[in-house]
């Protein structure tokens, strides 16, 4: 198992809030998430404990604008990061895929 933290590493809007859930990458649309209510804002981490595997964080942003998300192992190794611009692509239906190693 890996202890992870998900967070907004950069944002234009300090009030940006991300709300979402984590699924296995292979999950179908009708499958329940394996972790619910994975929410974060600037300066606040959301902590997860996951087995090795491929996952996707599906989320919505509360506001339009540019921001970056990171998922790190609590010990410090970055496992995923991505930049977003919700003004260009919308606030809902955003995803971040990531892999948890052994």
Residues 20-60 pLDDT 10s: 999 999 998 899 999 999 999 988 999 999 999 999 999 99
- Sequence-ordered list of residues with C-beta below 8 angstroms from that of 7, at least 6 positions apart, any chain: 40, 44, 45, 46, 69, 70, 72
The DSSP secondary-structure symbol of 33 reads P
CA-CA distance, 45 to 62, in Å (whole number)? 16
User: Is the pLDDT score of 102 beyond 80?
Assistant: no
Q: Give the model's pLDDT for residue 89.
A: 77
- The answer to whether 60 touches 18, Cβ cutoff 8 Å, is yes
**pLDDT at site 28:** 85
Average pLDDT along the chain? 92
The burial of 59, by beta-carbon neighbours within 10 Å (0-12 exposed, 13-18 middle, 19 or more buried), is given as buried
Burial class (CB in 10 A: 0-12, 13-18, 19+), 83: exposed
Q: What is the pLDDT of residues 67-76, one digit of tens each?
A: 999 999 998 8
pLDDT over 80 (residue 98): yes
């Amino acid at each position: 198992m890996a202890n992870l933290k998900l967070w907004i590493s950069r944002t234009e809007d300090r009030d940006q809030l991300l709300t979402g859930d984590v699924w296995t990458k292979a999950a179908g649309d009708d499958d329940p998430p394996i972790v619910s209510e994975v929410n974060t804002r600037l300066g606040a981490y959301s902590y997860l404990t996951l087995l090795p595997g491929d996952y996707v964080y599906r989320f919505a942003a509360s506001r339009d604008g540019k921001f970056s998300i990171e998922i790190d192992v609590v010990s410090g190794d970055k496992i995923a990061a991505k930049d977003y611009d919700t003004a260009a692509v919308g606030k809902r239906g955003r995803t971040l895929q990531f892999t948890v190693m052994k």
